[in-house]
Structure 1
């Protein structure tokens, strides 16, 4: 008979890898900042860097405060199914691949629907691309946990799930850089590289909504969203904020959504707006 998992079981056996890695990542970002300044590459802007750092630090401490809620939801779904997948090295790899598949779709919906774009836009609203960009994680992104609950329903152990999830998040750090250019073909055919992810952050017309992969680029190749890097990316978003206020950078699209919903007299249309492409928010808005 399947053994039920408690919150204490997970909290005591799933180390907080991101918390431990945070000082190392900040140190590497500062090192990149220094070399960028020394070499006059202008990859960093001081106010933008401080905004990214502020957003990232709040995100880390926020996750510490609410992780019991997130863990609890994953555990609950794991406990309601009568089956489980044994914990071995190969099922851990299988869990990571399955998680990456769902991360692809979570990321894709994060660009293709207004609701999830509001939870993701913070990561894109910088006109610079550097290691500190990986710190820009929205304080509302936890909503996307709904995309990962199928991992629990499949029977993967919650501890394995959370370790795989943290490794996937940490993988994102190194791909946010201009210093690493094209990698060998066999690597770039399977894995997401800095070259792939620069495309994803670009607002060049043919770069928009491409390369959603988290660790593996194979999903983009399979589902028609792959785009190789063929020109320098222009970073930022189409409706680019002209400030460095961390709170506004996190919540500006939420404000746009609520203003648009408030102007919509039909409540059904107002709710539908949440699941329409982000362009629907700005049809009547003049971009300054």
Structure 2
């Protein structure tokens, strides 16, 4: 059995290749919505505020939009991966067992895509939709940005290693499905060896927490071991507070959920006083940008207060 040296995939067969990719997420969708309903009913019966009407509507609409966009650009993405597959001489044959190494490498790339998405505003804008929910429940897994596909660049190494495009597409779907179950308050701590290796609800609640010690922690999608290796791991020590620094107003509006950060970015760039500042507002660390804006606003407020005091003194009658 030869692993490498597979024949190229003729581009004119792309439709046949696409049709041969199982639509695992579509198959799983009924079960996912069933679990959402069960979780909601349990929370309702226990009077737990795990769901909020407008936010839940927003999560579902964001998810439906993401799936629609994924369907529309699936052929384009497949084309890119087939072109890469055909370019390299070490193409792997289509063997099901190659899914295992593909998944591990894919998850490693996912860790870095996720890490960068929290550290560069340009990519944070493609991810903030997922974190803008103030309640933690299974529908949060639906909040995947409509523009997240630009992060495909982080997964190109998987293609250049030589995995078959169908294996890559299957891997991506299973990785997305894995993320579904970790978005819940009802599963607390798992057995220690599972918590040590895998992303779990406990580990991922930390990632969604906006407390200082929880920020920029636990990026692992399936394997939390990457966080342990790269020193970004944080255990769950207290109940997480969910949301972002400045929570959004239109919680049910999928367009606002997806693009409010871009609107803020454009406003910041317009107020920038130099090219360096403009680039900082686009590519800077979101936390650093927030601190910079807070300090700038404080300076402006102090200046305005001084000007008002000076104007008041000029208007007051002389003694």
If the length of structure 1 is used for normalisation, what is the TM-score?
Answer: 0.94
1:191–1:215 contact (8 Å) kept in structure 2: yes
1:148 alignment partner, SS class? helix
1:258 pairs, out of 257, 266, 270, with 266
Per-residue deviation, 1:8:
2.4
Structure 1 unmatched runs, 5+: none
Per-residue deviation, 1:86:
3.2
Change (3 A) 1:12 1:196: same
Output the CA distance in 2 between the equivalents of 1:178 and 1:2.
46
What residue is the counterpart of 1:3 in the other structure?
7
Per-residue deviation, 1:177:
0.3
1:77–1:153 contact (8 Å) kept in structure 2: yes
1:256–1:281 contact (8 Å) kept in structure 2: no
Per-residue deviation, 1:90:
3.7
What residue is the counterpart of 1:189 in the other structure?
196
1:132 alignment partner, SS class? helix
1:257–1:281 contact (8 Å) kept in structure 2: no
Per-residue deviation, 1:87:
3.3
What residue is the counterpart of 2:293 in the other structure?
284
User: Which of these two proteins has the greater Rg computed from alpha carbons?
Assistant: 2
What residue is the counterpart of 1:234 in the other structure?
241
Number of residue equivalences? 287
Output the CA distance in 1 between the equivalents of 2:246 and 2:84.
38
The residue correspondences of 1:117-196 to structure 2 (distance < 5 A) are 117-196=124-203
Per-residue deviation, 1:200:
0.3
Per-residue deviation, 1:24:
2.0
1:129–1:178 contact (8 Å) kept in structure 2: yes
Structure 2 unmatched runs, 5+: 299-319
2:96–2:167 contact (8 Å) kept in structure 1: no
1:62–1:139 contact (8 Å) kept in structure 2: yes
What residue is the counterpart of 2:282 in the other structure?
274
The residue correspondences of 1:17-36 to structure 2 (distance < 5 A) are 17-36=24-43
1:274 alignment partner, SS class? helix
**Bigger mean CA deviation after superposition, 65-74 or 106-115:** 65-74
Output the CA distance in 1 between the equivalents of 2:134 and 2:83.
40
1:260–1:281 contact (8 Å) kept in structure 2: no
What residue is the counterpart of 1:74 in the other structure?
81
1:204 pairs, out of 186, 193, 211, with 211
Deviations 1:10-69 (A, max 9, x none): 302211211222232122112211111111111111111111111111111111111111
1:284 alignment partner, SS class? helix
- Root mean square deviation, CA, Å: 1.7
